[in-house]
Structures are given as structure tokens and as C-alpha cells.
Amino acid sequence: MKLFVDTGQVEEVRTAASWGILDGVTTNPSLIAKSGRGFKETVTAMCEILPHGSISAEVVGTTVDEILREAHEIASWAPNIVVKVPMTPAGITATRHLSREGIRVNMTLVFSPSQALLAAKAGATYISVFVGRVDDISGEGMRTIEEVVQMVDTYDFESEVLVASIRHPMHVVESIRLGAHIATMPFKVMEQLFHHPLTDIGLERFLDDWRRAGLHIFEPAGAR
């Protein structure tokens, strides 16, 4: 499963990229607005940090013409950009045009299998199914992931299911169990994936035992 970080902060992308396990970045208009930097400078900086990853950048137009115009502009900034387009009738029409032109689309704000079907048929590269926002209103976000993964498998669509709006590590664990292709998560959640209390306790014990026994890996100078 690919791991993406969901952020508007270039420094978070740099840190996550330095771990060597980052496959991509998703942004959205709210995250970019919160970053305090310009849209193009933020997205192009991320593209440079992760040249072999995919960076999703979202249009804000709402008509087919506006979406196409903005998508062409955004896609021209770097080869590894995926244009994020909202799940609306105009978004679906634009996605059909863009995918035929070879511009990759991440269809965002998908909440149901029927919406996901339209996105797949329009040729979206990624289908971003939001889970946290559904859980927030007492729904079962991961249930939709299960249905969409099954739909993509059954009909052999080329689209990849991207689990979005992740709130905690269990959303990532469930994404693995359901066979989702990609999980995008806030930087904080990605950091949480590293941690387990037994890892910390285990490491401390190994190092203590080693130290107490006076062992070493490198021969001390002059010991030969």
C-alpha cells in the first residue's frame, strides 16, 4: 500500500521524504490556505522534494471550462502532479477529458460507491474516499472503502482507491486489511505509525544489557 502525506507544509514533506517510505503528497485548498505560502511555490517545492512521487494539487473552479483551464495550468508545473478534481457532474466531465489527454486526476470528496463508480468510469487515476468526515457524523467511513475496493476489483478498473481524511493509525491498519491502494494521512498520523510501547521498552532493554556486559561492535584502538 502506498503512503501519502496529507499536508500543505513543505517541511513536513521534506521530513517524511527523508524516511524513504513516502510515495506521494495530497493537498487541498484548506491545507494550502493554512500553509501561509503561495499555491504554485508550495506545490512545486513538494514536487522537487519527491520527484518520483505523486503530488496532488486541487482545482477551485466549478464549471467544466474552469476546471479544465485550471487543470492544464496546474499540470504544467511539474510532471509528477496529479490534478485533484471534485466529485460533481462538472468534475466528472472534466475528468473524462483530462484522462483522455493523459493528465492524471485524483477525484476528491468521494463518499459513496456510486460516486466512486462514476470516478472510475471517467478514468480517474485515484479515487479519494473520505473516511474521517463520515466517522465524525457517526457513519462508518471504512465500510465505503470496503465497497469501493471490491467494486474496483470486480470490474477491473484501473483507478486506485485512496483512503483520505484519515484521523488515526487504526484507519491505516483497516486500509491495509481491506486492500486499499493508497492511504493519505496527516503528518502526525504518519509519525504515530512508527510507535509501539513494546518497541521502546525492548530497545531500552537490549541497550542496557549490552552496556552492562561491556560489549562493543568496533574493536577499541590498540586492542589487537
Q: Does 160 bind ligand E4P (CB under 6 A)?
A: no
Where would I find the beta strands (DSSP E) of the chain?
2-6, 24-26, 54-58, 81-86, 105-110, 126-130, 160-164, 182-185
Q: Does 165 bind ligand E4P (CB under 6 A)?
A: yes
Q: Residue 106 or residue 118: which is nearer to ligand E4P going by CB? A: 106
Q: Does 168 bind ligand E4P (CB under 6 A)?
A: no
> Measured from the CB of residue 161, what is the shortest distance to ligand E4P in angstroms?
13
* 84 belongs to the catalytic site: yes
Site for ligand E4P in 5-44 (CB under 6 A): 6, 26, 28
The whole-angstrom separation of Cα 223 and Cα 162 is 56
Site for ligand E4P in 78-137 (CB under 6 A): 108, 128, 130, 132-133
Q: DSSP characters for 110-173?
A: E-SHHHHHHHHHHT-SEEEEE-HHHHHTT--HHHHHHHHHHHHHHHT-SPEEEEES--SHHHHH
Q: Single out the catalytic residue among 40, 84, 121, 188.
A: 84
Please give the residue ranges that form the binding site for ligand E4P (CB under 6 A): 6, 26, 28, 108, 128, 130, 132-133, 164-165, 184
Active-site residue set: 84
